[in-house]
Structure 1
Amino acid sequence: MVKKLSIIFGIIIVILVVATILVGNYFVNFALVADGEGDNRETNEEFIEEIGVENLEIIERARESQEARAQSWFIETEKEEVSITTEDGYELHGHTYTHDDVDEWVFIVHGYKASEMNSVTSAPYFYDQGYNVLTYDLRAHGESEGEFIGMGYLDAQDLIGWTEYIVDNYDDTSIVYHGTSMGAATVMNAVGDEDLPDEVRGFIIDAGFSTIWGVYESELSHRFGLPTFPVLDMADIMARFRAGYSFKNDGKAIDGVAESEIPMLLIHSETDDFIPVEMAHEIFEAKSDGEKQIEIFENAGHSESKYIDEERYYEVVFEFLENVY
C-alpha cells in the first residue's frame, strides 16, 4: 500500500511539474516575450456601451491627429540619438530634444508593447512648453535590446540608468518622469528606489497599475475566463526562471509610490477597461509623504485621457510641472 501511494504521489508530482512548465511557459511567451500576443486585446461591448460610440469617435480622431502631428514633429525637430547599456548588458536606444540654456527635463516612458514613437506623441507638448525631453524604447521594445518585457520592474533600473546618463552629460539638470501604463509602473518602481538621483523632482503616472499580479489576475478572467490559482501561480514560477522576476513578489509598483517623498500627479480614466480605476485610488492612498494630486477623466479607455480631453490633460500636467520646477 505504501509503495502504491508513493507511486501515485510521484505521478501527481510529475503531472504538476509538466503542467507548470507547459502552462507557465505559454503565458510567459504570451505576455513577456517581445513578439508575443499579449497586446492583442479586444474592446468589450460593455465598455463601448458605457462610454458611447460618440466618445470613441472623439478619441480616435484625437489619437490620429496627435500621432500625425508627432510624426511630423519628430522628422522636423533637431534631436540627438542616445543610448545606454543596462546593468544586465542590453543596449537601449532613444532621443533627446533640447533647448539652449534649459535645465528642466521631462522623461516620457511608454507602455506595454508600445515604442518610443508612442512617447513622441506627447513630446511636442513638453518641448513647445520649453522643456528638454527624453524619449526611448523600453527593453525588449522597438530598437532596444532585451529578451523579456520587464513590466515596469526590470525597467525601473533602466530608467535610473537614463537619469544618470542625462545628469552626467548635462549641467544642473532637474527631471520629472512621465509614464503611461507599464511606463507608469516603471516610474513608480524607480521613484521608490534608494538609488534614485536627487535631480528627479517629481513624477506623473497615467493609467498605472498597482501590481503585476493584480493586472494579470484581471486579464486571466477577462481574456481567458481562467482562475488565478493555479494558472497565474504557474506563470509566476516560469517567469522567475526565465525572465528573472516574480509577478507576486517583485511586481508591486505601489510600494515605490509609498516610499517616495517627491510630488506626484496621478491621472486615470474612470472607465479604464484594462487597469481598473480602483487601482488608481489605491496608489494615491499609498503615498503618505510629499505632495500628491489625482485627476480622473471620464468617458475614455486605457491611457486615453489625453485624447478625450486634450486641453484639460495638458493644463493639469503643466500646472504640476510649474509647481515642481
Structure 2
Amino acid sequence: MLSKKRVFAIVLILFVLLLLYAGEYFSKEIVSFRVRSFAEDQARSKIKNMKEIGLPEPENLRFQNGSISLQSWFFKNPKRKKCGVVLLHGHTGTRWGILKYAPLFWKRGCSLFAYDARHHGESNGDYGTFGYYEKTDLDRAVDYFSEISGIPEEQIGVLGESYGAATSIQLADVRKELAFVIAESSYKDMRSVIEKRAVELYGFPILIVSPIAFQIAEIKAKFHVSETAPVRSAAKAEFPILLIHSKTDELTPYEHSVEIFEAIPGNRKSIFITEWGAPHSRSINTNYAEVEKKVDAFVKEFAPKEFQ
C-alpha cells in the first residue's frame, strides 16, 4: 500500500504535469492563434470591392523585415500630394478589414499603404507578439512606403485598429519622426487584455495557468510580455496621437485608451470616447460621420500642412 507521502508526491507530479499541459495549450492561443483567411475577412468587412469605397485597384507588393515577408497594397493617389497613411488591421484579420478607414485620407489626396501583419493574412511568421516585433515591421513599412511613394517619412501617418492600434502606439519605442498616429480600440498592455479574454472564456481558474502560459509563449516567440505595453510606449511619443474607443467596447474596456491618453506627454493628443453603442473597433461602422468629423478636426490641428 502506498504511503501518504508517496500519494501526495504522485498527485503533486500529476498536478504539475497538468499545469504544464494547460500552459502549453494556452500559450498556443496567445502567440500562434488562428487567423481569418483573406476571403473570410473580405466577407466580414462587407466591402465587396475597392471601387465601392472609391479606391482604385492597388499595387500588390511584398517587403521584408529580416526573415519576415509582409504582403501589402499600395494605393497611389492620382492627386500626388506629399502625404500618406499606413493602415494596420486588427487581431486575426487582414489588410482587407482596415479598408473602411481608407476614404478618410484618400479624399485628402493622400496615398495609402496597408499590409498583413506577421502571422496574419498573406504574410508569414509563426507567431504574433501583440506589437513587440510588429512595431519594427511597422517601422520598416513606413520606410518602405516612403521609398516607393517619394513621400517624406515625417509626412506619413499611421492608423491602426485594435491589435494594429496597439502596434501603432508602440512605434514610439523605435521612431520619432511621424505625421501622427490614430489608434482605434487599443489595449493598454498585452497581459491584461489576454487575461481578461481568457477569464471570459474559461473562468478565473485560468489565472492559475496564465503565468506558465506566458512564459512558454515568451520562449517560443522569443519576446517579453512585460515589454509589450502601449501604455508604456505612449510615454515616449513625440508625434500627435488621436485615440478612439467605444464606451461599450465588449472586448477591450475604453479605460485602456484613457490610461494611454494620460501617459502621452505634452498636448499634441486627443481622445474620442464614442457613446452610440458601438462594439469593439466598430465606431466608424456605426457612425461614420462623427468619426470623420473627429479625425478631420485632429488632422486640421496637428497634422502637417500636406494633409490639409
- Global fold match (TM > 0.5): yes
SS at structure 1 position matched to 2:232: helix
Counterparts of 1:149 and 1:29, CA distance in 2: 10
Give unmatched runs, 5+ long, in structure 2.
37-41
Determine which of 76, 97, 106 is the counterpart of 1:98.
76
Counterparts of 2:89 and 2:71, CA distance in 1: 13
What is the aligned partner in structure 2 of residue 170 from structure 1?
149
State the 1:272 CA deviation: 0.5
What is the aligned partner in structure 1 of residue 56 from structure 2?
77
Q: TM-score, normalised by structure 2?
A: 0.85
Q: TM-score, normalised by structure 1?
A: 0.81
Structure 1 consecutive aligned stretches of length 4 or more whose deviation exceeds 6 Å: 4-11, 63-66
Counterparts of 2:44 and 2:196, CA distance in 1: 31
RMSD across aligned positions (CA): 2.8
- Distance verdict in 2 for CA 1:283–1:127, change over 3 Å: same
What is the aligned partner in structure 2 of residue 266 from structure 1?
243
Counterparts of 2:19 and 2:169, CA distance in 1: 31
- Distance verdict in 2 for CA 1:11–1:222, change over 3 Å: closer
2:195–2:207 Cα contact (<8 Å) kept: no
What is the aligned partner in structure 2 of residue 250 from structure 1?
227
What is the aligned partner in structure 1 of residue 46 from structure 2?
67
Deviations 1:241-293 (A, max 9, x none): 1112233x122121111110211101000010000111111111111234111
SS at structure 2 position matched to 1:106: strand
Give unmatched runs, 5+ long, in structure 1.
38-62
Determine which of 293, 296, 301 is the counterpart of 1:318.
296
What is the aligned partner in structure 2 of residue 35 from structure 1?
34
Counterparts of 1:271 and 1:172, CA distance in 2: 37
* Correspondences of 1:183-202 after superposition (within 5 Å): 183-193=164-174, 196=175, 198=177, 200-202=178-180
What is the aligned partner in structure 1 of residue 39 from structure 2?
none
Aligned residues: 291
Counterparts of 2:82 and 2:35, CA distance in 1: 39
* Correspondences of 1:131-142 after superposition (within 5 Å): 131-142=110-121
Counterparts of 1:258 and 1:268, CA distance in 2: 19
What is the aligned partner in structure 1 of residue 195 from structure 2?
217
Deviates more, 1:228-237 or 1:66-75: 66-75
Identity, % of aligned pairs? 24
- Distance verdict in 2 for CA 1:8–1:227, change over 3 Å: closer
1:86–1:161 Cα contact (<8 Å) kept: yes
Counterparts of 2:61 and 2:120, CA distance in 1: 16
